[in-house]
Structure 1
Amino acid sequence: MNHHAYEDRIAGILLGLDRLRAADLRTTVVSLGDREVIGYQCNIHGAAVHRYEHASPADSEMLAAFESRLGVGLPADYLQWITTVGDGGAGPMLGLLPLAQEAEDAAIDYAADFPFTADRPCAPAAEDSEIQWSENIGRIHRGATFLANEGCGMYNLLILRGPAAGQVWWHSNEHAAALPVLHPDTHKPLTFLDWYELWLSRALDPDHDQIGSFAKFTDRGASRA
């Protein structure tokens, strides 16, 4: 897909975000005794955290250094988003995390391929098996970046290297699992913009429940999507 197609999709997302912000974001004055502050109330999961605000676009020098470390280019749709809209901020779950921001004491090996595929994902570690948990986590934390925090130790990852590059995966740190996020109709793995559009469409559609976790769009949760 060319950059003009990404521009059109991103423009559509931004229009949808404006509609969602207008419908969802409410402010209130909260008294702290000696002063008053502005509080935020939102019905969309995580929106009170990012408040529909975008971070600044990614710095070109930082991007060049990261891609050199990564050894490959970033997924094109994601790269266009973080360079034209913002590197973090408004988005699914608790909002987009900046590129390469890690979580759960992760130590991502950016120069290694993410080893899993949609056909061979990383199933949860056996309960009470610390060895399998550590092995799974060590393999999951390769060639990917934390894209969004769902809360409760669950995250969305954007795969940057390996056969699943460009796909968004759901990750449970507690269970050391990583599963591809699949489109509810096509059942194909989602790209960054696919993932963002699915979240936004559900948030704007009164006939659908909003997305509280992308776990429901994995093979293990597809029956509840």
Structure 2
Amino acid sequence: MQIERIKTKLQQLKESDTDLELFGAESHTYTLHAPLSIEEIRAFESENKAKLPEDYVLFLTQMGNGGAGPFYGIFPLQESRINLSDNTGNVTYFNLSKPFPHTEAWNVEEELEELYDRIEDAYEAGDEELEEKLFDEKWDLIGAEEHDYGRLYIADYGCGVYISLIVNGDEKGNIWTDDRTNDAGIYPSVELGNTERIRFLDWYERWLDNSLEELNSSANKN
């Protein structure tokens, strides 16, 4: 069973990387939070009007509610609903009841390129007011509400890049990357070397396999 195989590999990885040398290991220390009950999962689904992918539920109930995982680790379920937060305590949440709108990688490269040309012109002209207005236009361009339908943030890749699990829509169950901060758009996750769509447990196990291979390669060089 995949979940048992994953448990074994995670323990093996924890025992192999005692110095926490791999990327993100110092953040999660290969430690999982306490699992959720199926009743807690169903309450979350009822509250948010969305049914979570089965393999993700299996992870939450049989392994842990976040913790050890790819990059800087897996967010707990409730935290994964948070889209944006600021220092004043304002928080916005993903709308899970509506379907994620994308089935292919999305970006607006041409529009952004044109906008940056205008921003550069405003900067060179010393027009700070126009420059600020154009940056607002940029966020309006890439930050439409519908991009945040039907998904959870499950991991922080770093550099403003977040990993999403789609929970509603045609891409339900698949892992996507939100790299709009760096003008790279939203696209199916490829960070772990996969070339096809990848689901949660397969993604998690691929991280384990990649990490164990990296440690083995390092050991062979020494």
Indicate the TM-score class for this superposition, using the shorter chain for normalisation.
Answer: 0.7 to 0.9
Which segment is superposed worse, 129-138 or 70-79? 129-138
Partner of 1:216: none
Unpaired segments ≥5 residues, structure 2: 86-91, 117-133
* Matched position secondary structure for 1:89: coil
In structure 1, C-alpha distance between the alignment counterparts of 2:178 and 2:97, rounded to whole Å: 20
- Counterpart among 99, 109, 118 of residue 113 in structure 1: 99
TM-score, normalization by structure 1: 0.73
Residue 195 (str. 1) matches residue 203 (str. 2): yes
Question: Which structure has the greater CA radius of gyration?
Answer: 2
d(CA) in 2 for partners of 1:86 and 1:172? Answer: 27
Conserved 8 A contact 2:84-2:93:
no
Counterpart position of 2:127 = none
1:161 Cα offset (Å): 0.3
Aligned partner of 2:33 among 55, 60, 63: 55
> Is residue 2:46 matched to residue 1:96?
no
Length-normalised TM-score, structure 2? 0.74
Do 1:70 and 1:110's aligned partners in 2 also have CA atoms closer than 8 Å? yes
Equivalent residue for 2:142? 136
CA distance in 2, matches of 1:172, 1:51: 25
Unaligned runs of 5+ in 1: 1-7, 27-41, 211-225
Root-mean-square deviation over aligned CA pairs:
2.5
Shift of residue 173, structure 1, vs aligned partner = 4.5
2:107 to 112, 119, 123: 123
Superposition pairs of residues 69-218 of structure 1, within 5 angstroms:
69-101=47-79, 102-105=82-85, 106-117=92-103, 119=104, 121-123=105-107, 126=112, 127=116, 130-137=136-143, 138-175=145-182, 177-182=185-190, 184=193, 187-206=195-214
1:19 aligns with 12
